[in-house]
Structure 1
């Protein structure tokens, strides 16, 4: 993983903390099962396909809109695939979980006096389900969905709209995400402090990351001092 500056220096230089949700705060294992197992299984059933055929078709459709808002849009996929994905999410919402140590760490982070907000590509319906299931909204100051801002986090327009809405100063902002393309987009916008999550899913080992300073999990950023 890319070398990183001491966490104490990072916190001294940070007023605003922007956090991805899935794979940073919440265990990506839930979404991996949903998109790589449950959705293709249902599509295979409806289309009379073998599971592997359905998965290959789904992956090809997703690749065609990668990095765009449609990739993250439940309405788009429900219309495209022919079944209700929101209902499927709700049916399995009890499996939505925090990554280890994150809930307590968020409590310390919010108490530090910094502005803490979620910046997610998740569809608003998914965001509502996950906030209701986890109580995550009580641990942050605000939540921002890319769908409300009109562009995915991979796109420059997202960061321009988010800065207008939040009023953060890029040079005093920390952004944490498990997606390297998203981190690259944030870097292009000028956000000074970036951290990658190396282990977004609890059932998978950490990934090697060279392009950005990385931690295995959010609590590895260490103790959060009170804002000066």
Structure 2
């Protein structure tokens, strides 16, 4: 069994694709609001309501993913807070198997993530998978999120990526649509980014629950 021979580069999102999104959902929806509630001396419900409004203001932009932005906005040290729940950082069930498979198949593997470099460093430390990647690209490197075509153009130029021979996997359909617009030939969505939540359905892209679904018979 193998990936299509035409694919020489595999582009992988991090949170919700390689890593269980439960950590991030817990961190941003529960842990950070609880810390803000304590700081502002308000109820957890009030803090969650306030933060939901703040999240909505910057959704899809680089600030949405930026620890420095949220540290300044909330008056909390997000870089430090992430360590308090790091025990929840976990790989998705067959991530390690898939990365091993790609390594044995001599595929070029590049991570494309909106995560802040501080978050990437902690997650790579916890999961020990950095060595599987030929490059790890953060949208913060280019100061523009993956939801923007400019991210893709800069990543392709810097890392000499031929999108026509690339597979991109992400849990965000909006980001998959941008990848499609710039010419990425093979696209798959993750149906089960958060192990604690029901599977999501993709409207416009083929979705997978496990990486093994990508393989085709010889």
- Report if TM-score (shorter chain) is over 0.5: yes
Correspondent of 2:23 among 27, 30, 40? 30
Runs of 4+ with >2 A deviation:
217-220, 222-225
CA distance in 2, matches of 1:141, 1:210: 31
Cα shift readout 1:29-68 (whole Å, capped 9, x = no counterpart): 0001000000111111111222122111111111111111
Q: Is the 8 A contact 2:16 2:193 kept in 1?
A: yes
How far 1:222 moved relative to its partner? 2.7
**TM-score (ref. length: structure 1):** 0.91
Output the aligned Cα RMSD: 1.6
Correspondent of 1:129 among 118, 122, 131? 122
* Residue in 1 that maps onto 2:164: 171
* Residue in 1 that maps onto 2:9: 16
* Residue in 1 that maps onto 2:93: 100
* Residue in 2 that maps onto 1:141: 134
- For the pair 1:113 / 2:106, whether they are aligned, the reply is yes
5+ long unaligned stretches in structure 2: none
Correspondent of 2:149 among 148, 156, 159? 156
How far 1:220 moved relative to its partner? 2.5
* Residue in 1 that maps onto 2:49: 56
Q: Is the 8 A contact 1:43 1:54 kept in 2?
A: yes
How far 1:223 moved relative to its partner? 6.4
Correspondent of 2:179 among 177, 186, 191? 186
Cα shift readout 1:100-142 (whole Å, capped 9, x = no counterpart): 0111211111221111011000000100111111111012221
**TM-score (ref. length: structure 2):** 0.95
* Residue in 2 that maps onto 1:207: 200
What SS class does the counterpart of residue 12 from structure 1 fall into?
A: coil
